[in-house]
Structure formats: structure tokens, C-alpha cells
Amino acid sequence: MSALQLLKNTGPKLKPTELVAALTQGDVTAQRQQASNLLQDAAILGCTVEAALAMYVEGSNGLNGLEATFQAMNIPVNHQGNEVAMACFAAATGTFMTNEGMRVLLPALINNLLRAVERAPIIERVEDLIFGTRIVKNNVLQKEISWDRNTNDSFKTHRIAEGANIPRRELKASQTAVNFFKTGHAIEMSYEFASTVTPDVLVPYAARIEFERSQDEHALAVSVLINGESNDPNSINGAIKEVNLDTLDNKAGTPLRNRAEGFLKWIIEQSRKGLQFDTLLVGWDTLMELQLMFPVTNANNTPAVGVGGVTGTGTQIANLAVKVANGVNFNLTLVVTSQLQGNKLIGFRKAETIERLIKANSQLAETERNIGNQTILYTNTIISGFTLAYGDTRTLLKWT
């Protein structure tokens, strides 16, 4: 690891008071340099400024380094509804946005303020589609896993005979890079305006950025689920496999609500292949059709009554519980999306299908350009991409 400029590679962690002093003391040039040093340190560590402070600044009283830094500046993050805390916040952040050194911590402060605000859950969010998120420093090649043909390896492999070879699935990189996209936007303020307000004025605008960014990432993830990562028709990471419900039940032109037999046949055929689904991605119209096909219950197992009864906790709007004789159940989580229009839905295994990659330095460059400008620019962007683990865990069902 390269030598850190402001934070410490070795020895005792930097004290919060030392960090605050470095960013606020001296002339404007010195403050800008220390802010730039902090950004460079985060880039070297391959993480955000928030994560760098949490790891490399000394915490205390159960607070991590980032929280201890705000405490050292007498900034109460959760101050709404408390007049004393509100007054302390206003006093401590009076010059927060206009101080050249402190401006580097503005995104971290706003993110903490957002966590303290009670917000309505987002329905179409990316987290309901992905099995996880990884932070990466650079571009990443797409990957593909292949079956071990010498052992007849498949999803139906359950046991290995005594003395037989262990199936070896080969995980390799392709020649094509994962596509990354920047989402989010910035809020620009004049120096004069910023000098008259405290940072919490940005909270509703930052919340809108986060909401819109989540919608954009959700749409990108759905696009990868449908179109895949590869243009090769023989690749398992190519476009999604399509199944025609009309062929399964010979009921073309019939509303989905009256086609339970064909719908169950699709689910059962996937289960026989060892590819049973745990998640259905559906459009809003299809959600209503499925509600009429099977009982829709919320987290408390309360049956829905009409459209107004479709409820849930968090962002999970409903669980689809399809119960078959002899205790065989297909419990599927419904995820709603505006990206699927018309008569189609997608079934997939969430834990094995799509992953989000975030570039570690997504916001650092934007913040660095903001240092020293006469306009105050709060930037909340992210550079992310989506990659498939197993591409054949997803199937699109369509009907007429």
C-alpha cells in the first residue's frame, strides 16, 4: 500500500481532533491540500471517505472513527425534534459548507443525516434483485462457470459415487468487461447561498437523489436479467431463456388469473430441472393477475382483500404462497417492476443470479473537483455495474 497522506498506515490511529484540526486550521491553501490528501488516502485504500474515517480514525464510546469525528465537531446527527440539539447543529455547522477543508466531509454528513430521517420504503429498488454488492477498484471482466462434462455434472448432481471423480466446475473470465454506468446527480449552490444555511437543508434533495438513483440501478439490473451480459447465443450469460405459457396450457388469449394449471406446470418443470425459483419479477398488471389467481398474504399471513389488501413490510409488497396437496409448497417472493410491460414475468434464484459491482472511487473525483470552487456542489453519484453468476437460473414466462 502507498503511504497515506493524512491518515496513518501504521501506529496509533489518527485522533478525531487531529483530523478536524488538519482540515480547519491554516490558510485556505492548507485546508484545500489536507482535503485533497484525505481524498487521495481514500483512493489508495479503495474505499469511500466514510469508510476510510471509520477504519483509520480513532473511535470512542462505541462510536467508529467517522461518528467520533462528527462528535469532535459537536455535530449531533439525529437532531430533529430536539431544540438543544438543533441549536448545537446550527452552531457547529455554520461554516461547514464554506470551509474549504470541511467541504470534503459534506457527502458523509448528508449520508448520516439521511439515515436519521424516517423515509417511505422504495418499492422498485435494486436490493430486491441482487444477491450482494462488491466494491471493485477497476474495471472487471465478465465471468462464466462451466459444467464438468467428464462427470456429467449438472444441477441434478446430488451425490458422488465412492471412488468417483469430484465434479470440477470451471470459473473463468471472458474477454468482455462488465458494463458500468454512473447514476445520480448533483445539487449546485452559490457560495453566498451556502454561507447562509446549514447542511441539513440538503436532506430532502439528497433523499430524492438516492430515490432516483435506486430506480435507475433497478432498471439496469432488470435489463441485465433480460438481456444478459453476452451476445453469444450459446453463453449461459446471454439473453434470458423464454418459455411460452400458451404452449404449456393451450389457453392463448385467456387472462393469467385463469391459467393456474399452466403457471404451476412452468414452476414444476423448473423444479424438476433443479432450477426452482424463489423470486418472481412481475409488472404491476401481472401482480394484480396473480393476486386473483392465488391468495396473496402479507408478512402476518393475513389474506389480501382486493387491491387495497396487497400489503407487506419494508419494500416486499407481497409473498405468493402456492400450496399444493401433501404439504408441497412453492413460496415465491414477488418483486414489482415498471420495467416489465405486457404479458411476461421472470422467475429466478436470487442467491445465485445477479450481483452489483460498485467502483470504489465513484464519488472521490467528483468531490475533489468541488474543492476550491466558488460554487458549492453536493454530488451523490455512483458508478455501478451488474454481472451474472449463474445465467441459467432465470427464465422469462410470456403469454398472450
pLDDT at position 300 is 64
φ/ψ (deg, to 5) at 199: -60, -25
pLDDT at 157: 61
d(C-alpha 101, C-alpha 34), whole Å? 7
Q: Which three cell numbers stand for residue 192?
A: 453566498
Helices 65-72 and 16-24 sit at what angle, rounded to 10 degrees? 60
pLDDT for 312 equals: 44
Asked if residues 241 and 344 have their Cβ atoms less than 8 Å apart, the reply is: no
**pTM for this predicted structure:** 0.81
pLDDT at 298: 57
**Beta bridge partner(s), residue 359:** 136
- Dist. CA 375–CA 372, nearest whole Å: 9
Domain 119-148+170-400 in CATH 2.30.110? no
Look up cell 485556505; give the residue. Answer: 28
**Per-position pLDDT tens, the chain of length 400:** 678 999 998 889 999 999 999 999 999 899 999 999 999 999 888 888 999 999 999 998 889 999 999 989 888 866 666 777 778 788 878 777 778 888 888 888 888 888 877 777 788 999 999 999 998 888 899 988 887 877 777 766 667 878 888 888 889 888 889 999 999 988 988 888 888 888 888 889 999 998 999 999 999 999 999 999 977 777 778 999 999 999 999 999 999 999 999 999 999 998 888 888 899 999 999 998 988 887 555 556 665 554 444 444 444 455 666 665 555 566 789 999 999 999 999 999 999 999 999 988 776 766 766 666 677 888 888 899 999 999 889 999 999 9
Let me know: does 222 contact 339? Beta carbons within 8 Å.
yes
| Sequence ranges of the domains in the chain | 1-116, 119-148+170-400
Q: Do the beta carbons of residue 340 and residue 287 sit within 8 Å?
A: no
